[in-house]
Chain A
């Protein structure tokens, strides 16, 4: 399977600031990347789908102006949480998949804490 990394692995920021999370596919041409959010003791919730070179498609209820996604290459996608608030504190996980593939390969996640 694909090797996927995320950076940073954890971050603490102050309310009102912005945080950028990187997702890298190290050995796989990721035509599609997904971003999930997972609150404690809950399931993974899909936030958005991004295809390389295209605008991301956001799930219902996810603010596209608050969660900025860029997928500029087949190996890198970034998620920027703008004007973060304590309720944005969560575990953010990316995954990658290839064209015509069902299987998703997950990154190790980024723990965001907003104080």
Chain B
């Protein structure tokens, strides 16, 4: 299959709380998993990515975990701030290729 399932579709958190978004893929050959942040009307911005040979990667308040056995990967944002409010997309590429398949997106709202 070609799909990447992403949940939840909307997520509302209080400032300072953590946010977790999860994606599930179906192809065991998938080997690259980026996460993008997209603000309204703007281009997607890469915020973190992980390769299939790594289980976890962290960059300040953002982390990504990958479970190859279960075929899912998650984005973790800690100490959320209002400027984290945006739509977040996961994506994957199949082994040997560089075409991205995107998840359906998560609208994150960080409330004061």
Contact = CB atoms under 8 A, between A and B. Distances in A.
Interface string B27-71: 000001010000001111110010100000000000000000000
A103 B44 contact: no
Given A43-B89, A103-B34, A103-B49, A109 B43 contact: yes
Contacts of B102: 43-45
A91 B43 CA distance: 10
B93 interface: yes
Contact-size category for A: 20 to 34
Contact of A46 (B41, B43, B100, B104): B100
B85 interface: no
Interface in B78-107: 89, 93, 98-105
B98 A97 contact: yes
Interface in A61-114: 91, 93, 97, 101-104, 106-109, 111
Interface residues of B, number: 20
Interface of A: 1, 32, 34, 42-46, 49, 91, 93, 97, 101-104, 106-109, 111
Given A43-B105, A93-B43, A97-B98, 20 more contacts: A1-B46, A32-B98, A34-B100, A42-B105, A43-B89, A43-B103, A44-B89, A45-B102, A46-B100, A91-B41, A93-B44, A102-B49, A102-B51, A102-B93, A102-B98, A103-B46, A103-B49, A104-B46, A106-B44, A109-B43
